[in-house]
Amino acid sequence: MTTHSKQVIGDMGMEASTTTEAWKLGVDLKTKPIYSVTVEGSESRIVEEALFVVSRGLEEVEWWSVYNLANGAHLFDTYVPLVKFSISRDTLTMRYAGLEVPEDNHKDARLREPHVVAVLTYASDAKVIREALITCDDLKQAPLLRSFADESRTLTVNGGKSLRVTFTQDFPSPPAPVTLVIPIAGDDLDLAHAQMPAHVHVAAWKR
């Protein structure tokens, strides 16, 4: 892992790029790596010997890109810290979750639609198992839930049985939390039995 960074005193944010390369154990590192991934980011770290996660937030907004450690394939992006958990008590069956909040200029036009709030991702270390699109009918509430300046978001897991997404307004506004609870069943998100607040919906989605 190699990181190059530059920060100008008085300027907001920084410039940085991170390169992650992999070789088979015992191979001369002067030979061509199995893969090489270079992206804008300030840090690359290994998670559970299965993923590597690059910190991409170089300015005001923190976010991360998640990759498969074995082959360098990009799995998903998340704007909350990566959540990791096992869905089995008998054997260690690791799963990972993240929440992507699309920026106004997102390259996918579908995510620029005014009702869109976020994309919840449920994945193994090898592939994305399910993506779920969170939307809001209220065109005044939707941009607030999606806002980076006025809203904070958390993603937590309840014993490997459900994921909880909470949107909270930042100070000085009252917190006014908006919470979604999405069960995990059969190694998938059980969207049909999700507990959703008024005007907020979740549906299967695919890139």
In this structure, the answer to whether residues 58 and 102 fall within a common structural domain is no
In this structure, the answer to whether residues 8 and 91 fall within a common structural domain is no
42 — pLDDT class (breaks 50, 70, 90): confident
> What digits encode the pLDDT tens for the residues 191-201?
999 999 999 99
Report how far apart, in Å, the C-alpha atoms of 71 and of each of 45, 63, 81 are: 15, 22, 22
- Which of 18, 47, 72 terminates a domain? The answer is 72
C-alpha to C-alpha distance for 53 and 67, rounded to whole angstroms: 6
One-letter amino acid for residue 202 of the chain: V
- Which of 9, 40, 72 terminates a domain? The answer is 72
Cβ contact 2:17 at 8 Å = no
Cβ contact 55:64 at 8 Å = yes
> What pairs with residue 54 in β-bridges?
44, 65
Nearest to 33 by CA among 47, 23, 20: 23
Structural domain boundaries, residue 34:
1-72
> 103: Cβ–Cβ under 8 A, 6 or more apart, which residues?
148
In this structure, the answer to whether residues 190 and 108 fall within a common structural domain is yes
> What digits encode the pLDDT tens for the residues 120-164?
999 999 999 999 999 999 999 999 999 999 999 999 999 999 999
Cβ contact 65:39 at 8 Å = yes
Nearest to 20 by CA among 7, 33, 32: 33
Number of domains in the chain: 2
| pTM for the full predicted model | 0.91
Mean pLDDT of 117-122: 98
C-alpha to C-alpha distance for 81 and 37, rounded to whole angstroms: 21
5 — pLDDT class (breaks 50, 70, 90): confident
In this structure, the answer to whether residues 127 and 195 fall within a common structural domain is yes
In this structure, the answer to whether residues 65 and 127 fall within a common structural domain is no
In this structure, the answer to whether residues 137 and 173 fall within a common structural domain is yes
In this structure, the answer to whether residues 196 and 95 fall within a common structural domain is yes
